[in-house]
């Protein structure tokens, strides 16, 4: 069984310097190291291939000129690592969504010249959500290339964080707003906004990947379908999840959530991810999660790697 992880993060020193938040030294090392240490971690958890992506918040919150410069150098770095270890690494492009037209051109360069397999994007750039028409050049480019976009969580806006995720200790507030629940609600809302805004109707072959078992949405999809009529969509929202959305565990190795995802969207819409370095399951933990799953051999292979390989085979280079 070949295992490919789609949410495997890194950062460059240049990008880390641009982020406001301090990064702990051990996390900084694990994010920036792209050699033996990372390969050893992959071997230890049983992951054959990492699809590298720039960690949240990427370059989307930076001013357009700075973001544009960093997207290019970051993608060049990913491509260099892939060239050095083509059997172990692939890559998602980083995009300067604050400059959507330039981001679209960079996505085309990343796919057709650098050999990357789509891009990782985040719900907002500044105060603007990704569904706004200003960002549609990115979706147009992705659809034209048949290149997937991985929609990854991002910090909730300050007002939402203050209203919903504050009032405890700083440590609890941070966890509550981020990995506890805030990141996932925020990203789940954004995929729904993309559907409601008509992005997938305008670009029907666009493929988006969600981590963390669909960022809450799969668990309430029957109820969410009531939005379809109110929005005058041509088909139920759940249909978009079965034609335009893939989901991964994003490091949440829950057999219960896996069963739910397969039941809701089908094994053909589930792929794999370990969320390195934020999550790490040693002693072959990533591989054992798939080996121990109650799946047919065909479905296990599809989730482990084949679904991703089929998706990549359709990218227009």
Positions marked active-site = 275
Q: Using omega within 30 degrees of 0 as the cis cutoff, is the peptide bond preceding 317 cis? A: no
- Residue 122 half-sphere exposure, CB side, CA atoms within 13 Å? 26
Name every residue whose Cβ is closer than 8 Å to that of residue 232 and which is 6 or more positions away in sequence: none
- Specify the DSSP element, H or E, that contains 29: helix 25-32
Contact 199, 240 (CB under 8 A): no
Structure tokens given for 254: 């829950």
For residue 111, give the H/E element and its range. helix 100-112
d(CA 297, CA 294): 9
Between CA 288 and CA 205 the distance in angstroms is: 33
**Residues sharing a CB contact under 8 Å with residue 183, sequence separation 6 or more, in sequence order:** 153, 154, 155, 156, 177
């Amino acid at each position: 069984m070949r295992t490919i992880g789609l949410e495997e993060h890194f950062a460059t020193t240049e990008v880390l310097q641009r982020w406001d938040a301090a990064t702990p030294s051990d996390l900084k090392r694990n994010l920036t190291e792209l050699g033996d240490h990372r390969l050893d971690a992959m071997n230890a958890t049983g992951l054959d291939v990492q699809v590298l992506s720039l960690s949240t918040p990427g370059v989307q919150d930076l001013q357009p000129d700075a973001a544009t410069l960093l997207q290019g150098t970051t993608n060049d770095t990913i491509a260099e690592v892939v060239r050095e270890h083509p059997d172990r690494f692939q890559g998602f492009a980083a995009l300067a969504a604050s400059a959507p037209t330039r981001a679209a051109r960079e996505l085309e360069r990343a796919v057709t010249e650098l050999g990357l397999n789509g891009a990782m994007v985040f719900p907002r750039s500044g105060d603007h959500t990704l569904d706004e028409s200003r960002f549609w050049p990115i979706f147009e480019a992705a659809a034209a290339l048949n290149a997937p976009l991985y929609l990854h969580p991002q910090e909730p806006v300050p007002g939402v964080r203050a209203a919903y995720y504050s009032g405890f200790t700083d440590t609890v507030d941070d966890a509550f707003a981020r990995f506890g629940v805030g990141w996932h609600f925020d990203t789940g809302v954004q995929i729904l906004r993309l559907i409601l805004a008509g992005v997938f109707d305008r670009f029907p072959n666009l493929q988006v990947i969600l981590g963390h078992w669909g960022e809450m949405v799969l668990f309430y999809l029957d109820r969410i379908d009531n939005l379809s009529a109110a929005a005058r969509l041509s088909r139920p929202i759940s249909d978009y999840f079965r034609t335009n959305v893939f989901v991964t565990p994003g490091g949440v190795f829950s057999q219960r959530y896996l069963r739910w995802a397969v039941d809701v969207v089908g094994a053909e819409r589930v792929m794999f991810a370990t969320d390195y370095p934020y999550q790490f399951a040693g002693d072959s933990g990533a591989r054992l999660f798939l080996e121990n799953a109650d799946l047919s051999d065909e479905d296990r292979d599809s989730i482990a790697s084949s679904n991703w390989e089929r998706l990549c085979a359709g990218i227009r280079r």
